[in-house]
């Protein structure tokens, strides 16, 4: 792709061009912006390069020689990359008339490329730093077989239809407003109802599993964050301000508050494990360029809990959390997931022995559950390794959801203690964990998984009542009252519109049920029922319909 761009626009400077999970991209410094139609021109040039079947030739050069070469080529971004590469040598690859800085390896020649597609154009700051030049990034994908590419492009189109940002606006769930600020969600009535349904379910499940509710302030003095280590390791992601000469931070995490509740009185080994749970809203100073609907925001709420336990209890507690995660995913309609262990990062706190013990506990729990997992080297939290459980949606896409972190370090930093059976003080172990993760991200995943057509128990509007005429309005209000008395979430469409439009609008709203009321229904004290999944269900008695819908809600049918 870079070679094709250089053929078409020779003065373009090359940035970086890595492979990524779903294909590849390349960053370009080009005077004029790329237009969407330019992608077709670049693809045509790429096909010509493939036809010419250039061999990929690897060359190793001393850094000084590489600098001379790229200076001659005028590739200033490559010169900066060469300076950053450790060692005395770098590797280059050449195919045809293009020489590029690259680690490799490559296929043998361009002729081996069978099926590719350029997908989109985006802006990207050099090295992701806002003060650096803005480059133009072209994304593409490639497959061994044309049918694989076709399937992938179909998947992309289906994903566009399910985009939670589009559906969220269409269904009036949420919005963003520049007057409020980027990455800060405004929940509309239906979105607030959906969130409330999720919160009520997850709160009830925590109480059933032995968790206690706690609640902490949204701001805390910086001293707390200095002790926890967040100030040193996470400060650039925190909102910090001063009041009356004292420095405060809006909380990016809930853990220090839970720690202080634990520390508020003397604890015995008999008290452990102690499980504190909070639907805690946190704020993180994410760069505006990475914000993405509900999936990446600056203010979000976590179903956050911290478990304080004995060393010998750690594995059992991790297993209980895993079971909690799996049960919850199944209830919400996610039947598949992957598991990853993230190990110690370069910037971290704590000693080697504790990190090894923490990682061993996570691995031990997964082995006892016979769960396969991959290792993500160096991507743990700064205070401990973690298990990440990624749910898979209806399109097979992964969404980061649950996390279980094993922490020996923060109990040490905060001098947490319990009294052992010998009357001496000992340190508890701390597990940080979320089940759903960010409620915002989970809602985004739910909306896309079900393409907006949520199961009855989750639907903000479970039934739309549609009176055929003004004469049916009184009966419709009576039915509405009965439904509300029976905890059925219902709306009444009183608009002066044709029946077909009201039905069509209820379908667009993705309401699971419609109840249509006319003169016949009034005389028979009955309901004409339409189901989103089954279509016209005919006439039903009021009590019959209520029992049917309550059973479906109770059983959480998907």
From the list 7, 306, 449, 489, the catalytic residue is 306
* 384 alpha carbon, distance to own chain's centre: 21
Tokens 């566009």 sit at which residue? 160
How many Å apart are CA 61 and CA 85, to the nearest integer?
Answer: 13
State the SS3 of 479-519. HHHHHHHCCCCEEECCCCCCHHHHHHHHHHCCCCEEEEECH
> Is 400 noted as a catalytic residue in this protein?
no
Indicate if 463 belongs to the active site.
Answer: no
d(Cα 297, Cα 284) in Å, to the nearest integer? 8
218 is catalytic: no
Establish whether 432 is a catalytic residue: yes
Round to whole Å and give the CA distance between 445 and 163: 9
Find out whether 62 and 161 touch, Cβ atoms under 8 Å: no
Active-site residue among 95, 100, 195, 255?
255
In sequence order, what E strands does 328-475 have?
336-342, 374-376, 386-392, 398-407, 418-419, 425-426, 429-438, 463-467
Is the CB of residue 506 less than 8 Å from the CB of residue 493? yes
Gap between the Cα atoms of 329 and 437, Å rounded: 12
Please calculate the CA angle 359-360-366 and round it to the nearest 5 degrees.
Answer: 95
Is 190 one of the annotated active-site residues of the chain? no
Catalytic member of 7, 162, 432, 510: 432
Which candidate in 386, 433, 502, 510 is catalytic?
A: 386
How far is the C-alpha of 230 from the C-alpha of 251, rounded, in Å?
10
Q: Tell me the pairing of strands 246-250 and 274-283.
A: unpaired
Query: CA-to-CA distance for 242 and 249, rounded, in angstroms?
Result: 8
Nearest CA among 388, 384, 383, 344 for reference residue 366: 388
Edge-to-edge strands, sheet with 463-467:
490-492, 463-467, 513-517, 526-531, 535-541
Residue 386 bears catalytic tag: yes
In the annotation, is 102 catalytic? no
Cis peptide before 237 (omega within 30 of 0): no
For 63, 182, 294, 296, 507, the CA distances from 164, given in Å and listed in that order, are 47, 17, 8, 12, 17
Sign of dihedral through CA atoms 83, 87, 88, 93?
negative
- Annotated catalytic residue within 284, 298, 344, 530: 284
Which of 13, 100, 164, 302 is catalytic? The answer is 302
Q: Are strands 19-20 and 526-531 parallel, antiparallel or unpaired?
A: unpaired
The span from the first CA to the last CA of the chain, in angstroms, equals: 44
Residue numbers annotated as active site: 255, 284, 302, 304, 306, 386, 432
């Amino acid at each position: 792709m870079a070679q094709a761009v250089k053929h078409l626009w020779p003065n373009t400077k090359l940035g970086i061009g890595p492979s990524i999970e779903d294909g590849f991209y390349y960053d370009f410094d080009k005077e004029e912006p790329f237009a969407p139609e330019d992608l077709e021109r670049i693809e045509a040039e790429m096909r010509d390069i493939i036809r010419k079947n250039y061999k990929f030739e690897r060359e190793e050069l001393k850094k000084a020689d590489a600098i001379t070469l790229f200076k001659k080529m005028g590739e200033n971004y490559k010169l900066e990359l060469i300076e950053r590469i450790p060692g005395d040598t770098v590797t280059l690859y050449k195919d045809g008339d293009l020489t590029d800085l690259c680690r490799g390896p490559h296929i043998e020649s361009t002729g081996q490329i069978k099926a590719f597609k350029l997908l989109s154009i985006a802006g990207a700051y050099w090295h992701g730093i806002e003060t650096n030049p803005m480059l133009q990034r072209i994304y593409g994908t490639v497959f061994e077989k044309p049918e694989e590419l076709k399937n992938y492009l179909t998947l992309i189109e289906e994903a566009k239809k399910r985009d939670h940002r589009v559906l969220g606006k269409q269904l009036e769930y949420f919005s963003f407003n520049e007057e409020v600020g980027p990455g800060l969600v405004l929940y509309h009535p239906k979105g607030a109802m959906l969130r409330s349904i999720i919160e009520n379910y997850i709160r009830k499940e925590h109480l059933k599993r032995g968790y206690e509710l706690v609640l902490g302030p949204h701001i805390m003095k910086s001293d707390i964050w200095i002790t926890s280590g967040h100030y040193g390791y996470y400060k650039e992601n925190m909102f910090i301000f001063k009041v009356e000469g004292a420095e405060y931070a809006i909380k990016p995490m809930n853990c220090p508050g839970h720690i202080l509740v634990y520390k508020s009185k003397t604890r015995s080994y008999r008290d452990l494990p102690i499980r504190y749970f909070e639907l805690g809203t946190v704020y993180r100073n994410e760069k505006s360029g990475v914000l993405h609907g509900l999936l990446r925001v600056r203010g979000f709420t976590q179903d956050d809990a911290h478990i304080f336990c004995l060393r010998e209890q750690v594995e059992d507690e991790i297993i209980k959390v895993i079971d909690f995660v799996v049960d919850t995913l199944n209830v919400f309609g996610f039947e598949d997931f992957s598991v990853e262990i993230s190990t110690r990062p370069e910037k971290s706190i704590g000693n080697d022995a504790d990190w090894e013990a923490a990682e061993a506990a996570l691995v031990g729990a997964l082995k006892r559950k016979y769960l396969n997992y991959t290792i993500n080297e160096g991507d743990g939290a700064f205070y401990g390794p973690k298990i990440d459980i990624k749910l898979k949606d209806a399109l097979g896409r992964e969404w980061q959801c649950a996390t279980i972190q094993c922490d020996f370090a923060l109990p040490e930093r905060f001098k947490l203690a319990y009294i052992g059976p010998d009357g001496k003080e000992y340190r508890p172990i701390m597990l940080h964990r979320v089940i759903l993760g960010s409620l915002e991200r989970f809602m985004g995943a739910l909306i896309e998984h079900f393409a907006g057509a949520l199961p009855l128990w989750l639907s903000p509007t479970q039934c739309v009542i549609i009176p055929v005429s003004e004469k049916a309005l009184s009966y419709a209000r009576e039915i509405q009252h009965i439904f509300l008395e029976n905890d059925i979430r219902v709306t009444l469409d009183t608009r002066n519109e044709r029946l077909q439009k009201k039905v069509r609008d209820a379908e667009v709203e993705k309401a699971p049920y419609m109840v249509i009321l006319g003169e016949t229904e009034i005389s028979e004290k009955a309901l004409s029922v339409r189901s989103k999944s089954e279509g016209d269900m005919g006439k039903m008695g009021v009590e019959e319909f209520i029992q049917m819908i309550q059973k479906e809600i109770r059983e959480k049918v998907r």
